[in-house]
Amino acid sequence: MKFNPADNIQDLQYFGEFGGVNPSISDSSTYTFLSAKTMFDTFEGNADGCYLYSRHSSPSNLYLGQALAAMEGTETANVTASGMGAITAVLLQLCGAGDHIISSRTIYGGTYAFLKNFTPRFSVATSFLDITNLASVENAITKNTKVLYCESVSNPLLEVADIEALSKLAKKHNLTLVVDNTFSPLSIAPAKLGADVVIHSLTKFINGSSDTVGGVICGTQEFINDLRNVNDGAAMLFGSTMDSLRASSILKNLRTLHIRMKQHSANAMYLAKAFQNIGLKTVYPGLTSHPSHEQFSKMMNSDYGFGGMLTIDVGSLEKANELMELMQQRNLGYLAVSLGFYKTLFSAPGSSTSSEIPEDEQAEMGLTDGLIRFSIGLDNNIERTFKDMKKCMQEVGVLPQNVTI
């Protein structure tokens, strides 16, 4: 039977302590033991089903982790306080002094900054490459390489990674393939394509209400146990633990993710086609003009579409800023970073979420000044939204007055 992440989430059944339809929220940082021996065994990692301390795990965090593991098709998962909390813990769990990481050069600015500026302090080096060029990825592998890192669909350029091919490379050279799937939940299931570890910033589509930050690491039981190890586990020792109250709130939002993703994707497809038709330089993996359209189509679960993210290039930062300010005034979306909200969000990544990347490197990877990244919302009438956006584009001179559709 076809792997369907939304069905897998739906098949889970949790009741609250008093038969509630939602699981009870664990409102404790610490847990009692009936015997001192069990407490000792739990510290040693040998007391399944016992809770020790909520930085280690809590019932609410485990419920959410189980649901996300079901979604990604991994053995288990560990939720974290933010997406960066997941990324930093995974990379420093897998790498130590002298190790080398190969990363896609188009990744979220915070991840880029961590690998470029922070991990070298611990003598962990990173090569940033065009991840779609498999030959250059293989050429860059050295005896010290431990991790291949990419985003399924990259932030902000929407490059698409060939996860199956990267997984083959990783297996051949004994590397761990870590994939950040934040931009394509449900549509792409990286672990099913061979990724060893799948990360999400839950802050985005998965939670979907822009009211919290959160993250998750999906992987094998062995890897998640390592991360939680009280002696040397990065998740346990860095302490970027999700609060139980938040975990229960994200779990409730996760239940509507499949409906939201369908609407985000349908709206983004409509706008991408319409933007392209009126002559705007538009990037969206669902367009046949996207260089990796075929690749995305091959990997995707078609029920959920090509996702809610698209970019247009309006030529200059000044025009981009003018257009975004006007669209916000007309209530067509918000000039804000982040993604996955019910409302369309737009920002110019070169001067915001990717500003950690030096200008010359931005130019090399094709991140231009006039690029606007859109996270398309759940608008009920996307045709009306398009017409109003087109008017804004005409008013700021991004489009000629006489353009018709």
Q: Which residues contact 390 (CB under 8 A, 6 or more apart)?
A: 274, 278, 399, 403, 405
Decide whether 83 or 377 has the Cβ nearer to ligand PLP: 83
Q: How far is the CB of 306 from ligand PLP (least distance, A)?
A: 16
Decide whether 153 or 324 has the Cβ nearer to ligand PLP: 153
User: In 162-299, which ranges are continuous DSSP H helix?
Assistant: 163-172, 221-228, 234-238, 244-254, 257-277, 293-299
Decide whether 99 or 151 has the Cβ nearer to ligand PLP: 151
Decide whether 66 or 240 has the Cβ nearer to ligand PLP: 240
Q: How far is the CB of 218 from ligand PLP (least distance, A)?
A: 14
What's phi and psi for 281, nearest 5 deg?
-75, 105
- DSSP track, 309-327: EEEEE-SSHHHHHHHHHHH
Decide whether 124 or 345 has the Cβ nearer to ligand PLP: 345
What's phi and psi for 183, nearest 5 deg?
-80, -15
Decide whether 151 or 243 has the Cβ nearer to ligand PLP: 151
Q: How far is the CB of 234 from ligand PLP (least distance, A)?
A: 15
Q: How far is the CB of 18 from ligand PLP (least distance, A)?
A: 33
Q: Cβ(310)–Cβ(266) under 8 Å?
A: no
Residues of 337-359 as b/e, b for ≥16 C-beta within 10 angstroms? eebbbeebbbbbbbeebbeebee
* Shortest-Cβ-distance residue relative to ligand PLP: 83
Counting every residue written for the chain, the total comes to: 405
Q: How far is the CB of 100 from ligand PLP (least distance, A)?
A: 21
Residues forming contacts to ligand PLP in the complex (CB under 6 A) are: 82-84, 108, 110, 151, 155, 180, 182-183, 201, 203, 213, 215, 353
Q: How far is the CB of 21 from ligand PLP (least distance, A)?
A: 28
Cα–Cα distance measured from residue 316 to residue 174, given in angstroms and rounded to the nearest whole number: 44
Q: How far is the CB of 213 from ligand PLP (least distance, A)?
A: 4
Decide whether 38 or 292 has the Cβ nearer to ligand PLP: 292
CA nearest neighbour of 343 among 331, 352, 353:
331
Q: What is the CA radius of gyration of the chain?
A: 22
